[in-house]
Amino acid sequence: MPRTIAVIHGPNLNMLGRREPEIYGAMTLAAIDQALHERAAATGLELHCIQSNHEGDLVDFIQTTGWLAHGIIINPGALTHYGLSLRDALAMLKAPIIEVHISNVYRREPFRHTSVVAPVATGQIAGLGWRGYLLALEWLIAEHGSV
């Protein structure tokens, strides 16, 4: 059975490539997921990706697929700051969790400086653009021996 990584994209990330490219870049969510799939496949990992604008859908995914995953990569989007049910669902997991943000949230509006997800995450990558997702995957591979 292949080892799996769950990749969770929160609200508005489906608009990457069109949404404020000066902040989020031109890379689309589909292209990010494709790059992750290619890297994962090269190491024998299986990826399960979800994007939703609805917190409950993400919680449902975590309670099913996330529970079985060997690692989690999550960009909670705006849920970073107030998604307590998302945070609680993540807290139930034993797998390492890497929180990713495309922009440097600490150089933006003050409300973006607080993450309710960070206390249950293993680590956080912010401000390195879409490549932050790949860095999270590389860390999971390196730190956990192909996860």
- Say how far apart CA 98 and CA 117 lie, in whole Å: 10
Distance of CA 101 to the CA centre of its chain: 8
Quote the tokens at residue 37: 């799939």
Q: Which of 101, 113, 133, 144 is catalytic?
A: 101
**Is-contact 96 122, C-beta < 8 A?**
yes
Active site (annotated) includes residue 82? no
Quote the tokens at residue 115: 């993450």
Q: Which of 9, 24, 70, 133 is catalytic?
A: 24
- Say how far apart CA 43 and CA 146 lie, in whole Å: 7
Active site (annotated) includes residue 106? no
Q: Where are the alpha helices (DSSP H) in the chain?
A: 21-24, 29-42, 55-61, 67-68, 79-82, 84-91, 131-143
Q: Which residues are catalytic?
A: 24, 101
